[in-house]
Amino acid sequence: MNACSFENNIRRVEPYVPGEQPKERNIIKLNTNENPYPPSPKVKEALESFSYSDMRLYPDTSSEELVRALAARYHVKESQIFVGVGSDDVISMAFLTFFNSQKPILFPDITYSFYDVWAGVYRIPYECKALDENFRIKAEDYKCENGGIIFPNPNAPTGVYEDPEMIEDIIKANPNSVVIIDEAYIDFGGKSCISLVDKYDNLLIIQTFSKSRSLAGMRIGFAVGNEKLIKYMNDVKFSINSYTMNAVTQKCGTASVLDEEYFQDTVKRIINTREETKQKLLEIGFTFPDSMSNFIFAKHRSVSGDRIFSELRKRKIFVRHWDKPRIGDYLRITIGTPEEMDSLISALKDILSEGNIL
């Protein structure tokens, strides 16, 4: 027998490549869309109040306290909330639960690069629909036979926000498919489609605590949808692992949701810095789609994205760059503190001056 014959039955996929997490100190990290500000002080209080002895107990499988807080915050029933270990876990569970026909699911060609990975893992056929020249979704592309639809709003990595009216048009055109809107960045601009979940049984909205709530390290995501959809997801979840979210995370997540004032203040600070950074980038020759997220997807009019990425890295400033068709000259720049963005602009001016661009 061939010693490697067992490999014939191994599931192989091209894995998702996350943004780099540098180990070195004294860097400016603008590559993974993390929040530059700490979580709510109430999260710290929740951590300090957690009993060491309680670690011996299993966590609440239903995450009841967190679900209750989310339901109150978003004005839905508790039975309309699903929580998971980061929005990646929630989206993965949604793929596994809802995308089971032989028809291809649909998502944009330039979007969150985990979607095709999940499709590969779960053996789900898919088609990528090309964004237009302005990186916008063409609604007509999603009015066809399909096994489901998913896209972010605002989109990643472009930051482009689509109006709820256009999204509702897509939902109405697909009564036989589950439509998932990934709202990881919705808190930084625009209107959530959560208000539509009671109108459309086939709509699922997914959000995360990683961006606007500064809890990327805690891994909290949630979905809002029709009660039947949420029940189906929980049925699958409890068939795999009932204890997915630990007790500390549940407690900290709840504390974050309950501190609305801090949440609004932090989001406002990031939006203000984003708008100031847009103007500064325009002044030195960058162009970009109008971002409604906590990042800017920018390219320079005459210097390649690869070169700028490399030069910034030499200066210990990390941004995100993809060597892919249509976006190879773009850099995704996370919005940091005002001081970090000033350092970025200064570094970019140095790079452009060295190339006799400025």
Rounded to whole angstroms, how far apart are CA atoms 248 and 50? 7
Sign of torsion over alpha carbons 253, 258, 260, 262: negative
Q: CATH number for 42-49+57-258: choose from 3.20.20.70, 3.40.50.970, 3.40.640.10, 3.90.76.10.
A: 3.40.640.10
Instruction: Please give the Cα distance from 157 to 165 (Å, whole number).
Output: 22
How many helices, marked H, and strands, marked E, lie in the chain?
A: 10, 13
| pLDDT (tens digit per residue) in 265-303 | 999 999 999 999 999 999 999 999 999 999 999 999 999
CATH architecture of 19-38+261-354: Alpha-Beta Complex (3.90)
Is 19-38+261-354's fold the same as 42-49+57-258's?
no
Residues 12-45 pLDDT 10s: 888 878 788 888 888 999 999 999 999 999 999 9
pLDDT in tens, 202-259: 999 999 999 999 999 999 999 999 999 999 999 999 999 888 899 999 999 999 999 9
- 139-176 pLDDT, tens per residue? 999 999 999 999 999 999 999 999 999 999 999 999 99
Write down the pLDDT at residue 358.
67
Reported confidence tier of residue 115, pLDDT bands at 50, 70, 90 = very high
Quote the pLDDT of residue 241.
Answer: 85
Beta bridge partners of 208: 221
- What is the residue extent of each domain of the chain? 19-38+261-354, 42-49+57-258
Type of residue numbered 276: E
